Amino acid sequence: MVKKAENIIVGISIGDLNGIGSEVILKTFEDSRMLELCTPVIFANVKILSFARKNFESTAALHGIDNLDQILPGKINVLNVWKEGVDVNFGTNDENAGKYAVKSFVAATSALKEGLVDVLVTAPINKFNIQSEEFKFPGHTDYLDQELEGNALMLMVQDNLRVGLLTDHIPVNEVASHLTEDLIRKKIETVKQSLIQDFSINKPKIAVLGLNPHAGDGGVIGQEENEIMKPAIKKLFEKGTMVFGPYAADGFFGSNQYEKFDAIIATYHDQGLIPFKTLSFGKGVNYTAGLNKIRTSPDHGTAYDLAGKNMADPNSFKEAVYLAIDIYNSRNEYAEISKKPLKTKEK
């Protein structure tokens, strides 16, 4: 059954309480038109959101609930994940804020796994203060990869610009040692499947960027392209995947080559995210492709320098909500089409 728009339940983790998460969430949903697109559920505590609402002079009307059976469409639902009061000190990096960011995220992920929310949108966290004996993950993506089915891949999205990563949160001096034919094959196949089922692109074209300057210059500046990347790309191409490269990364975006492809796969974090954020900052979305559930987030961090000042731009968070809903609908359409038997010609 296809859900009506307002009944698509968007689970939202609050992120770092001292960052801009609460502000961009409230600014997004105080626009009543958003409540016609979905039903938001913020995993936090209604007292925290009420404090933020007063601080930012928000007009958002909050509906506090103690379990997910109490969700009301047309309302900004706030699930009380914890009962105790928590001090909020905007702009401050502290361990307590990290603890509650994790509580919110873990509870929201659990609801996503159980199908109690349809999609998950995560507000920004601080990767340092979330670390504990119970939570030892570099960020959202790594935890989701453990908890959900599939193989997580960070895919940055802004309209038709989509940038994925072969490696993400690892030190630059370890990137080359992580590159294998198997890794490249898996990542390309994940991106291809996501483009088909999540973005409704039947025959996607994918570009892969080289690791070394000038994509190795034929082996003069490194052998990874010749020995690992080209063989992997060639095998996939021969099997019907429209994948090309490896391309020299330095001129790829400046020459607008990226516009010829449905997705670009960078070899490491900054190689992909620097050009992506240069082209789209403020409107980009971080989508975790490759999983059986849908999660998006804005393309920015906690922004402690802006926190509490009523200056944060909610556009990226709003785009993350839009994209999550679009992908949810695309997946449902793909599932319906996949079920239909192929028509045969009448004799």
In the three-class reduction of DSSP (H, G, I as helix; E, B as strand; rest coil), residue 134 is classed as coil
Separation of alpha carbons 211 and 230, rounded Å: 12
State the pairing for strand pair 205-209/263-266. Answer: parallel
Nearest to 304 by CA among 17, 20, 9: 20
Task: For the chain of 347 residues, list the mean pLDDT of each consecutive stretch of 10.
Answer: 74 96 96 94 96 94 95 96 93 92 96 97 91 83 92 95 93 94 96 97 97 91 94 97 96 94 97 94 92 96 94 96 97 86 47
**Contacts (Cβ under 8 Å, ≥6 apart) of 334:** 196, 197, 198, 200
- pLDDT at position 183: 96
Separation of alpha carbons 155 and 269, rounded Å: 11
Separation of alpha carbons 319 and 285, rounded Å: 7
Nearest to 152 by CA among 190, 184, 114: 190
Separation of alpha carbons 254 and 274, rounded Å: 12
Burial-class residue 334 by CB neighbours within 10 Å (0-12, 13-18, 19+).
middle
Residue 54 is which amino acid?
K
- pLDDT at position 4: 64
Nearest to 310 by CA among 65, 63, 20: 20
- pLDDT at position 132: 84
Which domains, ranges and CATH numbers included, belong to the chain? 1-149 (3.40.718.10), 151-291 (3.40.718.10)
By the 8 A CB rule, do 123 and 12 touch? Answer: yes
